[in-house]
Structure 1
Amino acid sequence: MNKLNEILQELGISKVKLAKYLGVSRQMIYNYLELESLNKWPKEKKILLFKLLDIEDGSDKALGKIKINSEYIMEVESRLNQSIKDTFEEYDMSDLKKLKKDEQRLFSDLTYIIKDKLTDEYKHDDNVAALKYVYHILQAMDNMKEAKYFLAYISKLNGFTGPNDNVFNENEQFIFDALIHSAIGLYAHGGTSKSKVADAHARFEKEVEVKNEEKLSRTQQLNTIKIQALRELGYTDITTENASEVFERMAEIESRKV
């Protein structure tokens, strides 16, 4: 299987892409690649791989005949992308078809890896918790630029993008990367005192408490304004029919207090 691994690496086919093409989990791909021979793969998956690589069987002789050049790489990439496109079109999500091809591929990659994580019975609980945090990061991203910077840092650290690939703000990301990397280094090597860590965490807890109090206060304020708007308009609740009118009145009430 070493030869197959070499071929896949030269073709630039990731485990995630291959898993999507074969319709299995990423972990299953690792399991397949640990087998002694391609001929020990499940028949259906084996045939799909033969089709992708344009070979007749999984023998070392057949794999050895593969000549990896630009033309062959393009042919394999075309077959792979067509399969992914066909899979994507199975989703009943017409709005997503308005996206560009690379955006559709990104959506497909995201949904695949989320599904893969959620169906991993060995790490299920950890994966669910981690994905909830990812969801929270996505929600916070518009109001917290550092969330994007942190995602970019993780991408760089794991070799998905270059260390100076700063697409959001070159100067701020440069500083952020340096500080985060230094902090993670201290964490990994225990290079700071417990008392300083405790003090820092206490400040962190206090800041979170303050933000939560502000959020609660804002929620209560909006609820009060909503009740006033409904009362002024003679409604008892917000419905699809009166929502626009109620929200306009809420904005008006807020402006009165400025």
Structure 2
Amino acid sequence: MEFYGDKICVLCLTKNFNEDLKSHFNIFSNPVEYEVIEGVKNPINEGDMDVNLWTILKHSTSDPVSCDILKNHLNIIRKYYDAGIQSLFIMEEDARFPRRDPKSMETWTNSNLWMKNNLPKWDLFYFGYCCWPILASFWCTPHVIRLPTPLCAHAYVINRSGMEKVLNFVQNPTFDPNIHIDKLFVKIPGIRRYGCFPMLSFQEESPALYVKACDILNKNVTFKSFCQFNERLCLGVPFIIIAIILISLYYYLK
């Protein structure tokens, strides 16, 4: 798998950095650089926090781990922006690309070609995502969709324009660092978010808050399965809305 851009960087913890972890990223023909960090000592995981379902749905909680992840993503973006990099592929250590069949490789190739040929039109490109809270996405090509509010930041590409928008936003004195990195990307005004369809990358384990929500609802659905359902639902929603409007107009004008 060849990435069209300048750099591939994987964010990983020192305790997990070994040959087994690196083997998951040997699928790329480009050199892979590793940003190895210590992480938070004695972390309090969000899954252990006393939060209700509404708080989880708002994605408004934060813990030392999520704050540290935000800081590390921003450090990587700043590092490569200062180095003059034009396009950077960032992955977290649990990002996986399980499907490498011909159709998946076609999606990968066409997504990279689209990014390369449409550089002025996008800032962030997701290979894995979950649309929330706006349950809608929009076709651009058979393999590329526009994403209004994508969550997940385990495998994304950010170009120089996107890096600049992110770094400018976090330098504002009113910026609150107690936020998840994926929610930060949604909050930045004017940042243009796209993704591949179907998505190619999934996290090895379901996020702690998602697991907690499943426990509250007494449901057992993997985050991967939910994301795959979500991506198809969100593509259908705009068509359903248009159909409702057209039917309403028909009966109104009849």
TM-score bracket for the superposition, by shorter chain length: under 0.3
Please tell me whether Structure 1 or Structure 2 has the larger radius of gyration of its CA atoms.
Answer: 1
Q: What TM-score comes out, normalization by structure 1 length?
A: 0.24
Larger fraction in helix: 1
Bigger relative contact order, structure 1 or 2 (CA pairs below 8 A, ≥6 apart): 2
Q: What TM-score comes out, normalization by structure 2 length?
A: 0.24
